[in-house]
Chain A
């Protein structure tokens, strides 16, 4: 199957009208030895066969929804209102290119302008770009920005409670830069102000903290920001945008740059992508920001409209001197986030955030009541927390998987202790869902404690 509208006869006629005797005349520049390698690909399929075959692959997966999932760790299961899929699948949005031709792209441009406005409102910052690839690369782009904004300083201080994949991407993305990436230790799962104060010396260009952090704890960002600024460094806050329906905004605690993963805002989990990196910042950093920016302006008759602006920062103009190499970004995902925030509005976003906070607290406290279970890092949380299990977390997961429950993420794989389990609760979990989970964990508790009693005998 293909999607070529011209028939073979039409193509032959066009070839002749182009003045070529044969197709081979057109491809004469391709050395003969290279031509037509005779690809060994599976045979072409009709749409019916294709759908059948690929659906069979999809059926081999058991996604959250089919299982009761308490997985989070940077990718969150949230309810997605129907209108988002409907609007974001409109071909006029979906199949348009980057809005370089402003007059033919006012729809996309206005969406990005509204997205920028919404992200500024949410984070309490002054300027927003049009999107980055994901939360991890957004952290790395913020770090690059800080290094350019603080010439002479070459250290980046990263809280060890930042998502481990963000830290990995940061290290890779800045591996060609003259800089040093240092982590500073946390205390009981949250920022340790003293450790930060010791680490923040005159070489620090920026301090990077995440809120809520990878372990689910709400951080004292205001304190971290104070220490950072006292050292003359920029404060970069990596935040879950949905948590900002409830939690203090980066602008409120004085962050210089806010970044994060926008996936919670109406974007499907989709096995890890496409997601949405976002970046907002103080106004004076705008000329160093990576990625596209949309500005409001006037047309030649004085009517308001939108266009891409400050393009002189970008690779297609500045080439090797650009602030970033990013070109294609995550425009359609920014559209989804924009629609999500408009559908929820200030009331709805607060409702979802409050639900997460209450339900997660309830689940955490209830689990802590189960014999053998406790909270690894007591303290305020938003939608996630670490449970210390009576047995290896991987075993808990295996036992619950048999009951159709994804218990959470064992932290052993991220360098944590073997019995630590990261558990996420969002508005997609009803009280009966949580009760079912608690019951399943109680079973683990019962078997584990029973065994221990047995050993004691």
Chain B
């Protein structure tokens, strides 16, 4: 098990004079360094970077990688994060030199393949979501939310309704929703949920009013329940003069099954690193394209693609635009991956994905509900939430269950959100029945252990390279660098 042992920091492996990469000197026969960069502008002390040979660097990072759980190695049922399989062809396409080596400012005439891909991706996303236009510039989901809210604000201002400063957010919403609304300059009003997990429509009706800018909604919501009264909610918000914003974090349930645009949503953001299979990379990069109905098109970020005499070019002349939200053309390499994914599937593949994701979730829920109470009884969409009542009654925390799951080789579900003491489980469509069975068995066994050997659960994990990390101490005695 030597490979699974923690590794010393790379700085501890450094040896003076050791080298990996070497570079030639510039053969100019002229300008010495002092002439090029006078000493007053140079650093006084060399940066304290480590010194190693190439094999040492390769071994260090290879071994570090082996300390991770990942989709390629483990079941990763993190609710609302859609940890589905990341097809390898996506990465191969993004790495083609014809894409990966492109400079963002190279002349448009030499970039038509890339621009066509972006243009085509925009149209595909419009079709999948039932929207009219998409901006591919935002770099992540939260960035897309922020951009979409700026678009809403710009639209309201242009109508002389800049006074609308409230964004309604259900209490079950992702934390980024209220945070993005605040960053965009709105005040946040929380909308309560019913015990069933659905939005309290009566409360929404009371809260919506002349100061309402928008309602941000995730559908299916974070309990994995489809907001069936979406038509009523859309009517309430639109009647009040606000707009309807769709948080696409849970779009994996709806691919080919239903479209936010048909439900009355005016603005949509997608997380391409969730529903469209681009890898999470240990925390990014993602991409968070924003789709809008036609009346909001003038406000999308600049630049936009425009076809002039058959060729695509960037159009910066968009006076009503909210402006630029990211440098260059967004996370292009991620967009290539998502495009590849959509082209692989076509319409029937999309629908098959959401169908398999929904069946997997309901199958797994049925397998565990004897020992874990369903937060929202009845069929779920692509994910579900359960509460381990038995274990909690014995003083076990959901975090203990999560850590014990690691011992069985499963990543933890999302914890204690959107309700207290819960597990939010999203199996995705790319897991086999056999994996789901093993996971259900592990959960059942942990429920048993909570009664027979609670200390074993409380002190988990036992089989990982490290034992439970002291997060409280980490925050108290900050150690953020070597």
A246:B285 contact, CB within 8 angstroms = no
Query: Which of A53, A56, A137 is in CB contact (< 8 Å) with B139?
Result: A137
Encode A101-113 as 1/0 by CB contact (under 8 A) with B: 1111111101111
Nearest residue, chain B, Cβ from A48: B89
Within 8 A of A (CB), among B9-60: 9-11, 14, 18-28, 30-31, 33, 35-38, 41-52, 54, 57-58, 60
Nearest residue, chain B, Cβ from A317: B175
Nearest residue, chain B, Cβ from A327: B142
Interface size class of B (residues with CB under 8 A): 35 or more
B128:A34 contact, CB within 8 angstroms = no
Contacts of B349 in A (CB 8 A): 1-2, 44
- Shortest CB-to-CB span from A323 to chain B, Å, is 9
Query: Which of A87, A175, A362 is in CB contact (< 8 Å) with B28?
Result: A362
- Determine the distance from Cα of A245 to Cα of B42 in the docked complex, in whole angstroms: 9
A295:B478 contact, CB within 8 angstroms = yes
The reply to whether the CB of A171 lies closer than 8 angstroms to some CB of chain B is yes
- Determine the distance from Cα of A130 to Cα of B205 in the docked complex, in whole angstroms: 41
Within 8 A of A (CB), among B124-155: 124, 127-128, 130, 139-143, 145-146, 150, 153
Contacts of B348 in A (CB 8 A): 44
The reply to whether the CB of B326 lies closer than 8 angstroms to some CB of chain A is yes
B327:A169 contact, CB within 8 angstroms = yes
Query: Which of A31, A106, A175, A345 is in CB contact (< 8 Å) with B68?
Result: A106
Known: A57-B114, A298-B473. A345 touches B19 (CB 8 A): yes
B282:A96 contact, CB within 8 angstroms = yes
A40:B127 contact, CB within 8 angstroms = yes
Spot the interface stretch: B176-184, B238-246, B449-457. Answer: B176-184
A93:B70 contact, CB within 8 angstroms = yes
Nearest residue, chain B, Cβ from A397: B107
The reply to whether the CB of A36 lies closer than 8 angstroms to some CB of chain B is yes
Encode A51-75 as 1/0 by CB contact (under 8 A) with B: 1011111111111111101010111
15 CB-based A-B contacts, threshold 8 Å: A38-B347, A54-B117, A87-B61, A96-B280, A104-B74, A107-B64, A112-B283, A169-B325, A176-B153, A303-B6, A322-B179, A326-B140, A346-B50, A347-B19, A359-B26
Nearest residue, chain B, Cβ from A44: B346
Known: A172-B325, A295-B480. A60 touches B57 (CB 8 A): no
The 8 closest A-B pairs by CB, nearest first: A176-B185, A272-B328, A58-B98, A91-B72, A332-B281, A60-B113, A331-B283, A44-B346
B49:A341 contact, CB within 8 angstroms = yes
Supply 6 further A-B pairs (C-beta < 8 A) apart from A97-B76, A354-B26. Answer: A25-B379, A27-B358, A58-B113, A103-B403, A305-B469, A345-B18
The reply to whether the CB of B102 lies closer than 8 angstroms to some CB of chain A is yes
Encode B291-305 as 1/0 by CB contact (under 8 A) with A: 000000000010000
Interface size class of A (residues with CB under 8 A): 35 or more
Nearest residue, chain B, Cβ from A177: B185
Known: A62-B110, A121-B49, A401-B107. A176 touches B139 (CB 8 A): no
The reply to whether the CB of B201 lies closer than 8 angstroms to some CB of chain A is no
B9:A297 contact, CB within 8 angstroms = no
- Shortest CB-to-CB span from B250 to chain A, Å, is 13
A134:B139 contact, CB within 8 angstroms = yes
Nearest residue, chain A, Cβ from B429: A4
Encode A322-347 as 1/0 by CB contact (under 8 A) with B: 10111111111101000101111111
The reply to whether the CB of B395 lies closer than 8 angstroms to some CB of chain A is no
Query: Which of B14, B87, B107, B285 is in CB contact (< 8 Å) with A328?
Result: B285
- Determine the distance from Cα of A134 to Cα of B332 in the docked complex, in whole angstroms: 13
- Determine the distance from Cα of A116 to Cα of B479 in the docked complex, in whole angstroms: 11
Contacts of A351 in B (CB 8 A): 22-23, 25
Contacts of A246 in B (CB 8 A): 37, 42-43
A61:B114 contact, CB within 8 angstroms = yes
B96:A406 contact, CB within 8 angstroms = no
The reply to whether the CB of B307 lies closer than 8 angstroms to some CB of chain A is no
Contacts of B420 in A (CB 8 A): none
Within 8 A of B (CB), among A210-259: 218, 220, 244-249, 252
Contacts of B403 in A (CB 8 A): 101, 103
A31:B106 contact, CB within 8 angstroms = no
Known: A60-B116, A106-B68. A354 touches B33 (CB 8 A): yes
Known: A30-B226, A319-B178. A297 touches B470 (CB 8 A): yes
Encode B69-104 as 1/0 by CB contact (under 8 A) with A: 111111010100101111101011111111111111
The reply to whether the CB of B393 lies closer than 8 angstroms to some CB of chain A is no
Nearest residue, chain A, Cβ from B220: A29
- Determine the distance from Cα of A101 to Cα of B411 in the docked complex, in whole angstroms: 8
- Shortest CB-to-CB span from B272 to chain A, Å, is 10
Contacts of A30 in B (CB 8 A): 226, 228, 257-258
